[in-house]
Every structure is written in C-alpha cells, then in structure tokens.
Amino acid sequence: MFLLTSLKSQTKVAAWRVVVRTLKVAVVGAGGGIGQPLSLLLRRCPGIDELALHDLTEMKGIAADLSHVSQTGNVVGFTGEQELEPAVSGADVVVVAAGMPRLPGMQRDHLMAANGNVAVKVATAVSNASPGALLAFITNPVNMIVPTAAEVLRAHGTFDPRRLFGITTLDVVRSKKFIGDSMNISPDEVNIPVIGGHAGITILPLISQCQPRYRRDLQEIQKLTNRIQEAGTEVVNAKAGKGSATLSMAYAAATFVDSLLRAIGGQEELVECAFVASELTDAPFFASPLNLGKDGIKRYMPLPQMSDYEKEALEKLLPILRQNADEGVNFARTFLSGQSRAPVPAALPLTTN
C-alpha cells in the first residue's frame, strides 16, 4: 500500500514538473545573507527553467556556483541598477530579498528610509519589464514596504492586488516550530493560521485554531504568542548586532515561492498566509490565509474563528497596520514626486525578520 501511494505521488510530481518547466524566477538581493541560501533552496524547486539572480554587487560567481548544482534549469547573474529590468524581464515570480538589516534598537522609520527605495525601484522595474509577475517582498518593514510597492505599481497602471505579496511565512514557520516543540510533536504535524502583519504585536498567531489543538491555559498562550511576535528580535540579539534572521527566512521564503510555483502549475487547494491588499478588515493591507492560483490570489479565505484574547489583540493591531499603510503610501508618493529621496545603501545584501 505504501509503495503504491508513493508511486502515485511520484507520478503526480513528475507530471507537474513537465507542465511548469518553463518558468522564470528572479531573486533581487540574491547576493546577501538571505538571497544566497534562498537561491540555493530555489534550485531544488521543480518548475524553474531560469533563475535570475540580481544584486548591486557582482553576481557572476554566485550564478556560476549555483549553475553547477545537479538540477535542470539555467542560472543567470545580473549586477547593478542598470541590469535590474533585464533581471526581472519576463519573470513569472519576482522575490525581493534586498535591503538593509535591522540592527539592535533600530526603529522602523530608519529601516524604511533605507529600504523604501528598494520597493520603489523593484516595483518600477517590474512594471516596465514584467507587469504580469507575482511580486513577493521579504524586505522589511513589510507592513510599510508592501503598501509602498502597491502605490508605485498603481502609479504605473500595473497594480493587481492578486499579484503582490509580503512574505510572512516565517511567522507561520516559527509558530509551527515552537508549538511542535511545546507539544513534543513534529512541526510538520502543526497547522496554524497567522494573521495581521509582520512586526511585533501586528503578528497574531491564532493559537485557538491550531491543529492539533494546543491545550494550554491563557497565560501559556500569551507567553507563546509573545515569543512568536518577538522571535526576530531574539535572533538579532543572539547574533549580537552581526546579523538577523537569514537562514530561517530563506527557508520560509523558499516555502512560499514553491507554493506560488505549484499554484502557477495548476496545483489546487494551496493555502498560504501572506500580507496583501485586503478587504477582510478596515486595514487596507492585512496578512491572512489565501487560496493561491495561477494568477496569484485565487480566493481570500474568511477570517478564522478567534478566541476573546485573539479578538482583543486584533483590535489593537489594526490601527498600527492602518498607520503603516499610510506611511508606506506617503513614502511612495513623496519619492515619485521627486521631493525627497532617501539615500540608497551602497549594497543591498541583506534583510531582516
């Protein structure tokens, strides 16, 4: 029985490989602490015919290195701002890992001043060279970066809310890991939606909806929720200012991109949480479970049931998300008007979560 099931599974995978073996994925910021391991993990994803790697630093060596991995598909390197549009041209998926890392004590305004330009320039390049691409941002602060990118796409007449994502998969990955450890089960057995945003208290794991059920008292649930919300800071502090969550973020981003590719390839019933333009709440951008399809978001899943504690937490995070959205839109409008342009970092090697 197991052998038969395994063979059926292999047949499905093999058939899927054939169907989607013409896709192009572009990684912007591919030379950094997230970009490199993300690019390596993407080499294992079936369906990528071309993996385009872009950064401000020289990418020929990294592209050559990854091209020796024994997987089908080509790897091409692109360097500098002048090669950003060629890198994303014709891409089916563009994933953005570029940006300055968050350091201990850094406020989101400082991070936005450095990384907001990334959103503007990538959204502009995608509008010009691949307006039909699924565009997914890792770059922080995601709660502001995604509204910034949306406004730039809107200004170019290419905004499609189904195709723009802020990758919040790391919040789900951390939730599954922490809950699995607490329950002494494999994280793969844990299913939990994480809604809201991608920073601090805007991250809301719906532990009441965890499967299998997480049977702990409210104090333990609050403690676990806080750990999930502050997990990024936990890593930043552990690295003592020398970095942030790079490897776990690369793993999470690869998981999300793989789901996008499978959805493009026609696989049904794929559900991932992501930060997107949304009408589920009065916040214009909101992370929630999404049914993915060939064109991006196929269906916004209804908000899951919540405990009283989670309902209260939701009410507290919504004003923050509304403010973040306003700040992101204003950043884009100011940049596009030419009134103020924040300095672009000399290199865009890393982002933070």
In the annotated binding site for NAD(+), the residues are: 29-35, 55, 115, 138-140, 249
In the annotated binding site, the residues are: 29-35, 55, 102, 108, 115, 138-140, 174, 249
pLDDT of residue 109: 67
pLDDT of residue 47: 85
| Count of domains observed in the chain | 2
136 shares a domain with 126: yes
Q: Is residue 352 part of a domain?
A: no
126 shares a domain with 56: yes
163 shares a domain with 173: no
Cα angle value 134/286/231 (rounded, 5°): 95
Mean pLDDT of the chain: 89
150 shares a domain with 182: no
137 shares a domain with 124: yes
Q: Is residue 70 part of a domain?
A: yes
Q: Is residue 150 part of a domain?
A: yes
98 shares a domain with 25: yes
Which CATH number characterizes residue 18's domain?
3.40.50.720
Q: Is residue 152 part of a domain?
A: yes
262 shares a domain with 119: no
215 shares a domain with 98: no
- Full domain range(s) for residue 128: 12-167+326-337
In the annotated binding site for substrate, the residues are: 102, 108, 140, 174
pLDDT of residue 15: 41
Q: Is residue 272 part of a domain?
A: yes
274 shares a domain with 206: yes
Q: Is residue 346 part of a domain?
A: no
Q: Is residue 7 part of a domain?
A: no
Of 304, 279, 277, the C-alpha closest to 289 is 304
pLDDT of residue 107: 64
Q: Is residue 4 part of a domain?
A: no
pLDDT of residue 350: 37
pLDDT of residue 22: 80
225 shares a domain with 162: no
177 shares a domain with 160: no
What pTM was estimated for this model as a whole? 0.90
Tokens coding 121 = 């320039």
196 shares a domain with 83: no
Which CATH number characterizes residue 316's domain?
3.90.110.10
pLDDT of residue 5: 35
Report, as residue numbers or ranges, the catalytic residues: 198
Positions in the chain short of pLDDT 50: 1-21, 339-353
